[in-house]
A = this chain, B = another copy of it.
Amino acid sequence: MKQTTARPGAGEPAAPPAATARRRGKALEQAIFEAALEQLTSGGYARLTMEGVAGAAQTGKAALYRRWPSKLELALDALGSTLPPLTDVPDLGSVRAELRQLIGTFQVAMDSPAGSAMRALMAEVDHGGGGLLKDFVMARLVGPARRAGLEVLRRGERRGEVRSGAVNEMVADVWPAMLLYRTKFGAESVDAEFCDHLLEDVLLPLIRPQAG
C-alpha cells in the first residue's frame, strides 16, 4: 500500500557509497561554486535553486545554509570566486588607445561565462537583494571600471589630450553606463562596432579640448 521509498543503505550495501571520498572545507565549497555557476549561467538567477545546487554538487542543503544565509549570498560568493578583476590600463600613449582597451576588456569580461552569470545577477539589484548585490556590483564591477576610467582620463589630462575641467566623477560613469545599458536593452550584443562608436561619438568628443 505504501510507497516503497527504498531507503538507501537499507538493503543493498554496495552501490552508492564511497564513490568519492567525502569532501569538506574548501574542496566542498569549490564544488558548490561550480554547481551554482553552472545553474546561474544556464538558467539565470531564477532557475538557480538551492535544491538543484545541492543535488548537482552531491551534497545536502544543510551544507549550503551553513555557509550562506540565502541564495543571493551564495550566488554572489560563487561569482566572486571566478570573476576576473578589472585590471588597470597601462600607459599606451593616447587616451583613445587606453579607453579602447578599457572598453574592450569590459566587453570581453561581460561576454565570458562569469560575465553571463554576472548579468543574470544584476537583474536582481532592485529586488530583495537590498544593499548586498548593489555593493557587490559596485565593488567588483562599477567601482574598478570608474577608477580605471578616471586614471586614464587624468593621465590624458596630464598629457594635454583632455580638455581641462572635463574630468569628473560623472564623466567616468558614462562608459560603464553605456555598456550596461546596451547589454540590457540593445538589440544586439555589445560588439566591436558599438565600442568604436561609443569611443568616437561619445567619449572622445566629451573630453576633447575645445579649440585646436
Q: Which residues on A are within 8 Å of B, measured CB to CB?
A: 1-8, 44-47, 66-73, 76-77, 80, 119-120, 122-130, 132, 134, 136-138, 142, 163, 166, 168, 170-171, 173-174, 176-178, 180-182, 184-185, 197-198, 201-202, 205-206, 208, 210-212
Contact = CB atoms under 8 A, between A and B. Distances in A.
Count the copies: 4
A197 B173 CA distance: 12
Contact of A67 (B2, B76, B123, B134): B2
Given A3-B68, A126-B119, A202-B206, A174 B185 contact: no
B7 A69 contact: yes
14 contacts: A1-B77, A2-B68, A3-B128, A5-B70, A8-B70, A45-B127, A120-B127, A123-B125, A168-B197, A170-B197, A177-B182, A205-B206, A210-B211, A210-B212
Given A205-B206, A210-B212, 12 more contacts: A1-B80, A1-B124, A3-B70, A7-B128, A7-B130, A46-B127, A46-B128, A138-B185, A166-B205, A171-B201, A177-B180, A208-B210
